[in-house]
Amino acid sequence: MKGTVFAVALNHQSQRDAWREAFEKAPYTTPPKTAVWFIKPHNTVISTGEPIPFPAGETVLSGATVALVVGKTARRVRVEDAGQYIAGYALANEVSLPEESFYRPAIKAKCRDGFCPLGELVAVDSVDNLTIITDINGREADRWNTADLQRNAAELLSALSEFATLNPGDAILLGTPHHRVALRPGDRVRVLAEGFPPLENPVVDERDVAITPATPPARHAVCPRAELRRSRQRTGLHPRPPSRWCLLKRRTPLTVITRRRCVRTTSSTCTMRRSW
């Protein structure tokens, strides 16, 4: 899945019960009445079989759930029409550090590398009564049922598409219970549900996980206007040029030509000319 992964907090009744007292105090004074969204960015997404990096000195929690996968562009979708926009579902593991407060977005807790394993897409009609099991090293550690969610898949897609256009390949994690399973380096965690291929990942000390960043290609001096033309051809968009200066490669000293004066220097092998 190449799209954006959205997730929702406080969508399980046990979460709302656990935070109820805190939400009755300032600054909240009342529990949220709408869905509480966050995003799992691309660096978090891994496939089955890939390692979950374990940061030294931290507590890491598994959050077995299921993801709705968008099949076509969705904008302001009604709940009753939501099924037309769903390509299928996939098992997911919303891995996280412990959350102690909702005062600030939990970027560090939610957005670490490898903190969102996603399984294979399965075309099923509904996951409104799906039992999800967490298995650690061959032993069942937790199970829960999606019937306990406050908002089902169709309601979440409708709520999110009310303000954000969803594109094919985008995913929505439907939520997790308040109780999560603690992980340790060396564990093998599996997320299981009837009708879905298992989602299995080893837990590995992050210092032993090789992260290979993409190497950007070498860039050479180019004319911004030529680069702008190429950008227009690629995207069909027509942004304004970033500058009115055009850099032309020559084997002469740098000469800056303006309306009033000409400045010459021997520190470069380019000529810079301003177009009026």
| Model pLDDT for residues 177-233, shown as the tens digit of each residue | 888 999 999 999 999 999 999 999 999 999 998 765 544 444 444 455 555 555 455
Identify the pLDDT of residue 187. 98
Most confident residue range from 6-10, 18-22, 199-203: 199-203
Average pLDDT over residues 266-270: 44
33 pLDDT tier (thresholds 50, 70, 90): confident
Give the pairing type, strands 52-54 and 199-205.
parallel
Looking from the CA of 155 toward its CB, the CA atoms found within 13 Å total: 12
- Most confident of the following: 4-13, 31-40, 238-247: 4-13
pLDDT at 254: 46
Closest CA to 106 of 8, 190, 38, 21: 38
> In 35-170, which ranges are E strands?
36-40, 45-47, 52-54, 60-62, 64-70, 86-93, 116-118, 131-136, 139-145
What is the reported pLDDT for 275?
Answer: 39
The SS3 of residue 3 is coil
* pTM reported for the whole predicted model: 0.72
Query: Does a cis peptide bond (omega within 30 degrees of 0) precede residue 117?
Result: no
Q: Does 14 score more than 70 pLDDT?
A: no
| Structure token digits, residue 119 | 């399984």
Question: How many residues are recorded in the chain?
Answer: 276
pLDDT of the residue at 193? 98
What CA–CA distance (Å, rounded) separates 89 from 66?
A: 7
Mean pLDDT of the chain: 81
Which domains, ranges and CATH numbers included, belong to the chain? 5-24+32-208 (3.90.850.10)
Cα–Cα dist 81/158, whole Å? 9
Q: Is the pLDDT of residue 245 over 70?
A: no
